[in-house]
Amino acid sequence: MQGNGEIEVSDENEFSHGLGGRKYRPVVAHDNDRAVVEMSSLESAASASSSSSPFPNRNLMKVKVSNQTNMTSEEREGSLPTHGRPNGSQKDSKLALFGFDSLVNILGLKSMTGDQVPAPSSPRDGDDATVNLERPKVFDTGLKLGTMMGVFVPCLQNILGIIYYIRFSWIVGMAGIGESLLLVAFCGSCTFLTTISLSAIATNGAMKGGGPYYLIGRALGPEVGVSIGLCFFLGNAVAGALYVLGAVETFLNAVPSAGIFKETVTRVNGPEVAQPIASPSLHDLQIYGIVVTIILCFIVFGGVKMINRVAPAFLVPVLFSLFCIFAGMLLARKDHPTAGITGLSLESFRENWSSDYQTTNNAGIPDPDGKIYWNFNALVGLFFPAVTGIMAGSNRSASLKDTQRSIPVGTLAATLATSGLYLVTVLFFGALATREKLLTDRLLTATVAWPFPAIIYIGIILSTLGAALQSLTGAPRLLAAIANDDILPVLNYFKVADGNEPHIATFFTAFICIGCVVIGNLDLITPTITMFYLLCYAGVNLSCFLLDLLDAPSWRPRWKFHHWSLSLVGALLCIVIMFLISWAFTVVSLALASLIYYYVSIRGKAGDWGDGFKSAYFQLALRSLRSLGADQVHPKNWYPIPLVFCRPWGKLPENVPCHPKLADFANCMKKKGRGMSIFVSIMDGDYHECAEDAKVACKQLSTYIDYKQCEGVAEIVVAPSMTDGFRGIIQTMGLGNLKPNIVVMRYPEIWRRENLTEIPATFVGIINDCIVANKAVVIVKGLDEWPNEYQRQYGSIDLYWIVRDGGLMLLLSQLLLTKESFESCKIQVFCIAEEDSDAEELKADVKKFLYDLRMQAEVIVISMKSWDAHAEQQDESFEAFTGAQQRISGYLAGIKEKAHSEGTAFMADGKAVVVNEQQIENFLYTTLKLNSTILKYSRMAAVVLVSLPPPPVNHPAYFYMEYMDLLVENVPRLLIVRGYRRDVVTLFT
């Protein structure tokens, strides 16, 4: 690679000879080739593997595009070999037409392979965009598994476990055949619907580590994903204790002499003679369970590869034990192994059809004095862990050859196979033995097994230990996946690098597992596991429901057998099962998940995973926008949507994109933070040249708004001039009734001090544009002194109500009172009356109006008669009045002189000027009187609001600025307000 557009080929000599001497050459503007590389060469390289070719390994090519816009023409020509230099510049390559999109995004697909790959840079930025056309390299971390060994076998091994062997016959005896069938169908339908939802989400794109946490988090957001993921981690850790206790209990029942402690439980059932039934001691379960858990942890530390190789071998004894169980049940009538075994008989089937719920002791032995009463709801909690394990395949997604095929097929096959097995087993157990035998023989499967019970004991122990290994292997990886997403800083201790073992997470999982083993009671542990698993399944169903209902363009799962209604039913079924089992456990699990959710939302780092809630917000916003329509908003529903014009009218500190107090003032226009602000600024220049700078400036402004804790959005517009930019903003900003209705900007106090002669025309033009666009205007004078939320103000908020503004000035004063900085102030309304109006009548009308508006304010009426005497003027106001007269006279004289010399009409700001000197005098005198009144009555006010006079027609912008300067003279903090042709307050409820 030496020049722009050159092609680099590894082993160039052999490659070129293999093509019969043909060499790749750069493509120039006058070349008629259709592509950079001759198609015949690409076809030859592509077919090398399927045909006899002299270059079988020549599928490695690199296309390199270099930017040489900053190089001289001599340098560009010098970068090419002399014999290969075309007549035209290499810059004219056809690649320049396509840019980097056709090379990187289409051929390389680098931006779609994962989050860790940065977006390719454009060749225009001066960087080389190198694209590897070879087949993507797959870093082999082990043998890739197919559907059978990767999904079906792990799911089957996790589903077929301890509950089936040592609890299922007891469940049939307690619930009867009929309700046992209903129990299996009820729990199986929940996992079946969850499997359908899981298949849809898993086939909608590539999966990373984390299993269901990854799916839920990417669908419902990081907060929901982390909260459910941590609960699912706890469920897996507790499940490890369940499997360990099952293995230990089976071992102690098979070898009673191994028990350190002895315990005998006496059962009394009906009129029969009491018979002692031996069961393992709780202390034996605890001691052996802790030892087994420690041994399993050492095996886990030995490496996942060893576990993955040994795990399929655990399934062989399980399948063989199932064969022995069914063979023993078929041969039971002939062998008559023990009392209570009737063989498959219709009489036993009829007797065991109905339920027989009763109280038991902690070991599950029927006892009239027992403390545990069993019913259908309790059996759901006990049996449901027997149908869990459907996530085992998704947890192994990184080791699967084809996740989008293996996960749906393997998981669904395992779910249907185990559900069918459970239904058939219910019928066999119900017809095999008496109810007394079903309730008292905790290992009925071993009793009836053919040819001898030891096979069942071995199968149970191996299956439970294998499941425990899966839990102690999968749970730490789930926790490490949550930690690696860097959402919760507190989980940073569990982070692991790619390919490393999560040792710290394994220690933590083992600690939880040992704590549950100490409890030593399966019947107390299983409801906890059930809640966490159901919570995870509900999250999967809700994820699929949300994604399917919204149906975003990116929702294209390969698994087509799904519908949002099925996912909704699955989610509701999970919640119903949770409350059926135990409302107390349900409340505790939901509270724990909510607590984690709240903690993540407060302490967690923001992560944008394109979750379904963002799509839901978008759809809700569109629906709400359509429902608002284009009609006028009723005053009861009116919200201020300020368009904050960030033009500073002066210099700002470096790296501060807008005036620091503008955000504070925008917050004052919201009641309890409700509302939206749009911060806009205009960048002068050409759009094509300044587009990137505008993006950077917009990002800076948005960051600053977030720093100031002002809910709003930032927009930067590039325009040839400020006037053109503002007119574009005022016409196009917003959608429907969500368009901004108030323009907020700073008063340009510095224009005369800094001699900025361009400000008057721009400022007046903005006001006129707002009037034409029917936007309200709020101009803030004294923005530097505007208080923040911690600076409490005292005194009054004075309103000088001169013209009808739809109640905007009154509403702004009420909004100011809702802020802590102004809540100690009171409102005073000054009504400026005409000379011939009745002041008392006006005062009464205004007070009645304010009363109906639920606004408390003191009303003061000022008649214009009191403005007649010059003696009442404030000295500083009169001095400013004299100065304004002199400057206007000088400006007017200059216009006249220029018009006389050029022989044209009076012109200012590019338009004709038609003024009456007497009218100018009246305007100046009016603003003088108003300023004097404000200084007289409101010198100590916290803030003053006054009506904004519209710019007079045919008056130069310079004159209007003089009027305004005279109006705001010596008033420290002033809001100049102009309403629009809509009421923003109403008297009616």
The DSSP 8-state label assigned to residue 108 in this structure reads I
744 has which bridge partners?
644, 778
DSSP of 333-380: HHH--STTB--S-HHHHHHTSS----EE-TTS-B-TT-SEE--HHHHH
Q: Cis ω on the peptide bond leading into residue 451 (within 30° of 0)?
A: yes
Q: What pLDDT, on the 0 to 100 scale, is given for residue 8? A: 39
- Number of Cβ atoms within 10 Å of the Cβ of 749: 16
**What does the alpha-carbon distance between residue 921 and residue 901 come to, in Å, rounded to a whole number?**
26
DSSP of 831-883: EEE-TTS-HHHHHHHHHHHHHHTT---EEEEEEGGGG--GGGS-HHHHHHHHH
For 49, the token pair is 């593997």
SS3 letters across 48-75: CCCCCCCCCCCCCEEEEECCCCCCCHHH
> How far is residue 389 from each of residues 12, 419, 529, 743, measured CA to CA in Å?
54, 12, 12, 59
For 415, the token pair is 């779910």
For 757, the token pair is 């002669």
> How far is residue 917 from each of residues 738, 753, 899, 924, measured CA to CA in Å?
44, 26, 17, 11
Q: Helices (H), strands (E): how many in the chain? A: 33, 19
Q: What pLDDT, on the 0 to 100 scale, is given for residue 190? A: 93
**What does the alpha-carbon distance between residue 771 and residue 260 come to, in Å, rounded to a whole number?**
93
The SS3 of residue 946 is: strand
Residue indicated by tokens 């070879």: 134
In this structure, which amino acid lies at residue 766? I
**What does the alpha-carbon distance between residue 260 and residue 277 come to, in Å, rounded to a whole number?**
17
**What does the alpha-carbon distance between residue 286 and residue 514 come to, in Å, rounded to a whole number?**
9
Is residue 743 packed enough to be buried (19+ CB in 10 Å), middle (13-18) or exposed (0-12)? buried
**What does the alpha-carbon distance between residue 706 and residue 644 come to, in Å, rounded to a whole number?**
15
Question: In terms of DSSP bridges, do strands 796-801 and 776-781 run parallel, antiparallel, or are they unpaired?
Answer: unpaired
Q: What is the pTM of this model?
A: 0.65
In this structure, which amino acid lies at residue 162? I
Q: Are 557 and 203 in contact (CB under 8 A)?
A: yes
The DSSP 8-state label assigned to residue 489 in this structure reads G
**What does the alpha-carbon distance between residue 658 and residue 648 come to, in Å, rounded to a whole number?**
7
Q: Are 393 and 153 in contact (CB under 8 A)?
A: no
| Region at 927 (left for phi over 0; alpha for psi -120 to 50; beta for the rest) | alpha
The SS3 of residue 131 is: strand
**What does the alpha-carbon distance between residue 491 and residue 293 come to, in Å, rounded to a whole number?**
24
Nearest of 801, 810, 814, 809 to residue 843 by alpha carbon? 801
Q: Where are the alpha helices (DSSP H) in 92-151?
A: 95-98, 147
267 has which bridge partners?
275
- Number of Cβ atoms within 10 Å of the Cβ of 451: 11
SS3 letters across 569-590: HHHHHHHHHHHHHCHHHHHHHH
422-454 pLDDT, tens digit per residue, is: 999 999 999 988 888 888 887 788 888 888 778
**What does the alpha-carbon distance between residue 592 and residue 774 come to, in Å, rounded to a whole number?**
52
For 821, the token pair is 């900085």
**What does the alpha-carbon distance between residue 917 and residue 901 come to, in Å, rounded to a whole number?**
21
Q: What pLDDT, on the 0 to 100 scale, is given for residue 654? A: 67
* Angle in degrees, CA 514, 518, 524, rounded to 5: 110
**What does the alpha-carbon distance between residue 256 and residue 764 come to, in Å, rounded to a whole number?**
98
**What does the alpha-carbon distance between residue 268 and residue 275 come to, in Å, rounded to a whole number?**
7
The SS3 of residue 913 is: coil
Strands (E), 471-581: none
| For the chain, percent of residues with pLDDT exceeding 70 | 74
What is the Cα 356 distance to its own chain's centre?
Answer: 49
The SS3 of residue 606 is: coil
Residues of the chain with pLDDT under 50: 1-141, 266, 268-274, 869-871
**What does the alpha-carbon distance between residue 99 and residue 491 come to, in Å, rounded to a whole number?**
43
SS3 letters across 607-669: CCCCCHHHHHHHHHHHHHHHHHCCCCCCHHHCCCCEEEECCCCCCCCCCCCCCHHHHHHHHHC
Nearest of 386, 442, 444 to residue 419 by alpha carbon? 386
Helix (H) / strand (E) containing 563 = none
The SS3 of residue 196 is: helix
Residues sharing a CB contact under 8 Å with residue 438, sequence separation 6 or more, in sequence order? 169, 170, 172, 173, 174, 352, 429, 444
Q: Are 822 and 816 in contact (CB under 8 A)?
A: yes
* Angle in degrees, CA 631, 634, 639, rounded to 5: 100
Q: Are 947 and 977 in contact (CB under 8 A)?
A: yes
Phi/psi of residue 921, nearest 5 degrees: -60, -40
Q: What pLDDT, on the 0 to 100 scale, is given for residue 718? A: 92
